[in-house]
């Protein structure tokens, strides 16, 4: 993957919003307020990306993604669904990194990935950051890597009832 396109951003955000909504469903039983906040933030992310086009400002998307990360940061690290939260934070980091470097991206996938990673390192602290790395295979985009990582986790922890993405 080279330069991020508007279709990729919309699809990536949709996958992230779906994952966050699944986490909200799991949180509902123990913390309905947090679950409602997560659901609202996932919806805000989806709305922010609906009309996004390559090269347009990314402030709304970054704001929605940062809100999701702040809410996810409130979930205890000992939660039974902790692995899913860590995957969601890693996916949002990738999303923010790709968006924030979009205007300077080129045909060099390696340079783009390095720029995105450098931006991720500037993000606010989050207790979940770095607990899971979404490893991308050659020619695999962020969305495919998120989906593969998430679905692998659903197979490892079927008792939690998380749906595949």
46-93 residue pLDDT tens = 888 877 766 566 777 888 888 898 899 999 999 999 999 999 988 888
**Alpha-helical segments (H) within 28-58:** 32-50
User: What integer is the mean pLDDT of 84-104?
Assistant: 79
Pick from 56-60, 106-110, 127-131, 161-165: least confident: 106-110
At 123, the pLDDT band (50, 70, 90 cuts) reads low
Q: Spell out the domain ranges in the chain.
A: 6-160
Per-residue pLDDT tens over the stretch 15-32:
889 999 999 999 999 999
Q: How confident is the model at residue 135 (pLDDT cuts 50, 70, 90)?
A: confident
The predicted model gives 126-148 an average pLDDT of 81
How is the chain split among helix, strand and coil, in percent rounded to 5?
65, 0, 35
Kindly report the CA angle at 124 between 115 and 4, in degrees rounded to 5?
35
H or E element in which residue 68 lies = helix 59-72
Banded model confidence at residue 2, pLDDT cuts 50, 70, 90:
low
DSSP one-letter code for 161: -
Query: 131 falls in which pLDDT band (50, 70, 90)?
Result: confident
Residue 44 is encoded by which pair of tokens?
């805000």
79 by Cβ neighbours in 10 Å (0-12 / 13-18 / 19+) ranks as middle
Nearest Cα residue to 53 out of 116, 12, 97, 10: 10
pLDDT of residue 1: 45
Mean pLDDT throughout 139-154?
87
């Amino acid at each position: 993957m080279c330069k991020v396109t508007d279709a990729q951003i919309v699809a990536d955000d949709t996958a992230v919003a779906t994952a966050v909504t699944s986490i909200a469903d799991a949180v509902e039983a123990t913390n309905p307020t947090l679950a409602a906040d997560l659901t609202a933030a996932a919806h805000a992310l989806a709305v922010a990306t609906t009309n996004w086009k390559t090269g347009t400002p990314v402030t709304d998307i970054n704001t929605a993604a940062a809100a999701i990360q702040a809410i996810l940061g409130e979930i205890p690290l000992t939660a039974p669904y902790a692995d899913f939260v860590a995957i969601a934070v890693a996916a949002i980091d990738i999303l923010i990194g790709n968006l924030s470097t979009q205007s300077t991206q080129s045909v060099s996938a390696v340079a783009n990935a390095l720029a995105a990673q450098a931006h991720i390192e500037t993000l606010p602290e989050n207790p979940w950051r770095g607990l899971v790395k979404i490893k991308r295979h050659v020619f695999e985009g962020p969305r495919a890597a998120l989906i593969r990582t998430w679905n692998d986790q659903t197979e490892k922890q079927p008792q939690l009832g998380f749906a595949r993405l």
